[in-house]
Amino acid sequence: MTDAPAARRGIPGATVARLPVYLRALGALAATGVDTVSSEELAEAAGVRSAKLRKDLSYLGSYGVRGVGYDVVRLREEIARELGLQHDWAVAIVGMGNLGHALAAYSGFATRGFRVAWLVDEDPAIIGRTIAGLTVISFDDLASEPPQGVIGVIATPPTAAQAVADRLVDMGVHSILNFAPCVLNVPDGVEVRKVDLATELQILAFHEQHTREEIDGIADLAPVVEEPKEATS
């Protein structure tokens, strides 16, 4: 089912972005006791077309068995291995305001193999506080023992985000998840992923506006039905 060397060859970014979706769908199937799944069933559970799913999984060297489908446990392992999820990753959250608090308390990171290990802020009123069982430290504290293989999460105001990214990169961080609404400049070899709920809402607003225009347009084109005249005598 798997050709491991093939899985090491270049996988398109869009495919990588869908692998966690397949993983989540497979997890849900496994939880209900499903052993094997067809590409059509898995594609439907993941919300993609089955041809796309098959193409994506072919990059991992997974082709399934004709007439049987994919072994759920095995495919989960293969995707998890490709994503580097066989071991826990430590996460440092920088900026312990509203968002930082919520992220630190989010149990979904731990269940997916991400251990929030450091909480960082610059505000002396916040440093030393305990949030979700961890003590908030300063950047200098973090820099005194630069963490290895850590994923940095930026939850500071945008005005501070570039300086925070620079400090994380100086410490050897190669992977950053940026929640601040700004573009970060980082050297080659550093991967930045951006989360921006406001942008997502703007895209939905666009969709909503055009849907309404279509509905209004259809209403304008609808034939006018004349009310029956009442008898006068």
Instruction: Check residue 124 for interaction with ligand NAD (CB under 6 A).
Output: no
Site for ligand NAD (CB under 6 A): which residue of 80, 91, 155, 165?
Answer: 155
Confirm or deny that 99 is annotated as ligand binding: yes
Burial of 166 (0-12, 13-18, 19+ CB in 10 A): middle
Do 165 and 192 meet the contact criterion of CB atoms below 8 Å apart? Answer: yes
- What six digits make up the tokens of 70? 């994919």
Q: Where are the alpha helices (DSSP H) in the chain?
A: 4-8, 13-31, 39-46, 50-59, 72-82, 98-104, 108-111, 139-144, 158-170, 197-221
Name the one range near ligand NAD by CB under 6 A: 34-42, 64-72, 90-98, 145-153. 90-98
The reply on whether position 192 binds ligand NAD by CB under 6 A is no
74 vs 194, beta carbon nearer ligand NAD: 194
Q: Is 98 in the site for ligand NAD (CB under 6 A)?
A: yes
Which residues in the 18-57 window bind ligand NAD by CB under 6 A?
A: none
C-beta of 80 vs 94, nearer to ligand NAD? 94
Residue 197 found at the interface with ligand NAD (CB under 6 A) = yes
Q: State yes or no: residue 118 binds ligand NAD (CB under 6 A).
A: no
Residues 6+ apart with CB under 8 A from 162: 182, 184, 185
DSSP 153-164: EE-S-HHHHHHH
Q: Pairing relation of β-strands 114-120 and 134-137?
A: parallel
| Residue 69 DSSP label | B
Task: Give the one residue of 61, 122, 132, 192 binding ligand NAD; rule: CB under 6 A.
Answer: 122
Residue ranges that bind ligand NAD, judged by CB under 6 A: 94-100, 120-123, 126, 155-158, 160, 163-164, 179-181, 195-197
**Residue ranges of the binding site:** 95-100
**Residue ranges of the binding site for NAD(+):** 95-100
